[in-house]
């Protein structure tokens, strides 16, 4: 057979979309097929990791190694610190990191990866627990494991049925299921998640609170309810937020006066010096507490189509104010 004859045939008519859909269907079927294959070894694996007093090490060769790295990363970001070790490197000294208090997770579609099988006796001798993810429940790796999780596929999405595709997708999905089961069992919170992602937009949204971005003290425009409209205009100009809060004698928020309120007042021809602010302010304005997430302030602004919020305590006393520009500056939006 010539090299040309040995090549996989192209989709009829160059139907690359058809091939793409078939690949996705095969890989989706591989994941769906895992649901019925889950058994008591899954909660057993969860318990082994929950009871682990040492470290979780994840390992695999080739494509399984790439999936192992992703599983270790997902676990680490969801409350279960985990490390990847290359099985070949483990045979040359790195296995020294494994102790009797650890859990070792081994990935191999065949369950017969020579590099992993070479270190299994050493892992068992140390007394560490072994969890395997394979596509062959009768394999050596599956038999030697304290908990075996089936992560196989009936066929690969590769037209030659050779390249690891559906099987690696299945292993990745099962690794996610394991990581998230551990996350829930540990009661891992949104704040803890944010602390492990401080550098990105997600961390900013989850860690930034209203008190971190609001303007407080004299930077939050305010006038008493006895003030005149002309006083409100001066305070708005000073504060440069396009608003001023109107307060009672106890510093509680009674209302707000905005640029929009000013335009409407001017259209009605009111006397700026003879009009009491209480007669033209917007009563019962939208407010938020200082301990709320800044992302919640964004949601309120978008829902009610406002650009500013007053920040109040439990008794509606003014603490601060913020606007969309403050949220943009803090990169919450």
Question: For the residues of 79-97, what is the DSSP string, one character each?
Answer: T--EEE--HHHHTTTGGGG
**Tokens read off for 238:** 């000073």
**Calpha distance 142→130 (Å, rounded):** 10
What's residue 31's pLDDT? 95
Cα separation, 190 vs 209, whole angstroms:
13
pTM for the structure as a whole? 0.61
- DSSP code of residue 14: G
Beta strands in the chain (DSSP E): 56-60, 82-84, 103-108, 129-134, 147-150, 215-216, 222-224, 243-247, 253-258, 282-283, 287-288, 308-312, 318-323
Q: In what order do the strands lie in the sheet with 318-323?
A: 215-216, 318-323, 308-312, 287-288
- pLDDT at 186 (0 to 100): 87
Residue 96: CB atoms within 10 Å: 9
The helix-helix angle for 166-185 and 41-50 (nearest 10°) equals: 50
Residue 55 burial by CB count (10 A; 0-12/13-18/19+): exposed, middle or buried? middle
Sheet holding 56-60, edge to edge: 82-84, 56-60, 103-108, 129-134, 147-150
Q: What is the pLDDT of residues 49-69, one digit of tens each?
A: 999 999 899 999 999 999 999
How high is the pLDDT of residue 113? 93
| pLDDT of the residue at 45 | 97
Please report the pLDDT score of residue 206 as a whole number. Answer: 61
Q: Which residues of the chain have pLDDT under 50?
A: 1, 3-4, 12-13, 199
* Three-state secondary structure call for residue 208: coil
Neighbours of 124 (CB within 10 A): 15
Residue 161 DSSP class: S
Beta-bridge mates of residue 228:
276
**Predicted local confidence at residue 327, as pLDDT:** 86
Question: Domains in the chain, ordered, with CATH?
Answer: 15-188 (3.40.50.10490), 210-329 (3.10.580.10)
């Amino acid at each position: 057979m010539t090299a040309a004859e040995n090549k996989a045939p192209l989709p009829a008519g160059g139907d690359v979309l058809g091939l793409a859909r078939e690949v996705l269907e095969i890989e989706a079927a591989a994941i769906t097929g895992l649901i019925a294959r889950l058994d008591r070894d899954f909660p057993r694996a969860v318990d082994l990791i929950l009871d682990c007093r040492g470290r979780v090490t994840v390992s695999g060769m080739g494509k399984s190694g790439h999936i192992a790295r992703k599983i270790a990363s997902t676990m680490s970001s969801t409350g279960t610190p985990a490390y990847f070790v290359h099985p070949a490197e483990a045979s040359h000294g790195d296995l020294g990191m494994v102790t009797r208090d650890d859990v070792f997770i081994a990935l191999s579609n065949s369950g017969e990866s020579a590099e992993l099988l070479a270190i299994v006796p050493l892992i068992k001798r140390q007394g560490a627990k072994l969890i395997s993810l394979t596509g062959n429940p009768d394999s050596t790796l599956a038999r030697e494991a304290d908990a075996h999780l089936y992560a196989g596929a009936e066929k690969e999405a590769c037209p030659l049925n050779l390249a690891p595709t559906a099987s690696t997708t299945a292993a990745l999905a099962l690794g996610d299921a394991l990581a998230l089961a551990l996350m829930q069992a540990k009661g891992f919170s949104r704040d803890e998640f944010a602390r492990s992602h401080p550098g990105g937009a997600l961390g900013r949204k989850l860690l930034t609170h209203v008190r971190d971005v609001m303007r407080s003290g004299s930077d939050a425009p305010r006038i008493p309810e006895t003030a005149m409209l002309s006083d409100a205009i001066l305070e708005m100009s000073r504060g440069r937020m396009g608003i001023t809060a109107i307060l009672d004698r106890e510093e509680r928020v009674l209302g707000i006066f905005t640029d929009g309120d000013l335009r409407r007042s001017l259209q009605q021809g009111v006397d700026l010096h003879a009009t009491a602010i209480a007669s033209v302010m917007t009563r019962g304005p939208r407010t938020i507490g200082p301990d709320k997430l800044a992302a919640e302030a964004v949601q309120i602004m978008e829902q009610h189509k406002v650009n500013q919020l007053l920040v109040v305590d439990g008794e509606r006393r003014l603490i601060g104010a913020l606007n969309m520009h403050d949220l943009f500056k803090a990169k919450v939006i």
